Structure 1
Amino acid sequence: MGALEQVTKMRNQGVPDSDIIRSLTQQKISPREINDAMKQAQIKDAVSDFDNEDLEQSEMPEEAPAPMEQEYETPEEQDYAPAPQEEYPPQESGYSAQEQIYPPQSSAYAEYSQGGTDTDTVIEIAEQIFSDKIRKPQNQIDAVSEAAAMLQSKLENVSERLKKIETIIDKLQIAILEKIGSYGQNLEGIKKEMSMMQDSFSKMVSPQKESKEFPRENKAQQEYASAPQEEYPAKKEFPREVKPQKKISAKR
């Protein structure tokens, strides 16, 4: 049995509100549920009371015009009947009867004024019922909006992380390209150093080859330079043969 059913049952039995709240708290029902159940029970009682008042008001105007018609008929009959002057006192009794009829009309106006004040309470009760009915879908809508906001925040965080990852990848690419460029420069420098070493090594090796290929000539030159000039005879000069020149006849 729900809290609202228990509250309505206890109210119908005549149990006071304090005892109802105590019994519901003993059943370990939350104070919010107890408060909501009490409000809903009050609203239902007010609505039922207002319905009963409407029924009573709808019955009262149907009974009220009947005595009015009877009173209005008596003066017409008195006008047409030939009555002596001594019969005026009954007319006063007719006026007194009419005066007796007016108080119920004033009470009816009082009831209508009470009904006007009750309409305000009914409007408040209807608004409260409407708010109670809308509370559940409103809570669902709020939960959906909160979930949408959380998803939006998560998507924003993911997009920010992706942007950070992209920036890191760009930095890594730039660093790799710089390293590759520095390696290329280092290789060019190493090539230049290797070529310079090769040139210097070839220059150092070439005189040694020349000295190995021509050792005899060097020795002969040294002996010739150290020996005196007299030991070597002078070279003989032989006459050159003179060849006869042929006469070339010019042909015509």
Structure 2
Amino acid sequence: MSTLDKVMQLKNQGQTDQQILNTLRQEGVSPREIMEAVSQSKIKTEINSQNPQQNQNTSNQSQNPSANQTGNSPQPGAYPAGQPNPTTQQTTSQQQNTPTQQIQSSYQPSTMSQNSGSPQNQQVPQQQNQYPYQQSTMSTQETQETQQQNPQQQTEEYSQYEDYQPPSDYRTQEYPEYQEGYPEYSTTGSTDLETINDIAEQVVEERTASIKRQIDLFRKFREEAALAIEKLNQRLTKIENNFNEMQMAIIKKIGDYGDSINNISKEMRATQESFSKVLDPLTENIRNLKKITKHK
């Protein structure tokens, strides 16, 4: 089911435009598509409301074509051969006037707007537009019967019809008015769609303004956190370098202490050897002196 059909179904159920918007949003339809479908449904309902009487007249005429045919067909042989048939005269006049009547009836809104001041001019187009289908069927049936009855009159009628020329200023006066009236409807539909789209964009911007603010705050927080983390990394690298330098200095100091201890031990050994060299003769001298003293 298309979006337009869904909108028409929900409108027939009695829902408002806001309720339709909410329900279709829940189904996953985009807001732009929803607003276009709502505007199209409004245009469709207006067109259907403007043409109910015309549809009823056409249906009644399609149901009763035989009545119009029997009521308007003349009986053969009712008029003598020398006298002119009034039906054929009426047919020729209708054939001459049918194009102008049909065009005038189709362009009725422009002529009615020009002649709105006089009541007589208002009544004539209404009578012409009440049964356009009936007039066309009557004219076709009468022409067929006259073609079967009077072939000579038929040639005369065709010659009269060929001699007929519409006024030179007819197309320049009425047809441009019809052309000017049709684009007005299309421009109003496009302007309605544009206004609906503008309103939808404004609503979306208002709804998303708070989300945009939160996103901006989160972006600023992320940038600040990134700067703080970078500073911490720099500090940690500095501290790590300091620890490495301190460790190397301590190791050097310990090495220096070891070297100094080795030097001290070497010096002590040297002093010990020197004392031993000095003490040995002294001890021998002392022993000799003791022996000498004992002999005395």
TM-score, scaled to structure 1:
0.49
Q: Rg bigger for which structure?
A: 1
TM-score, scaled to structure 2:
0.43
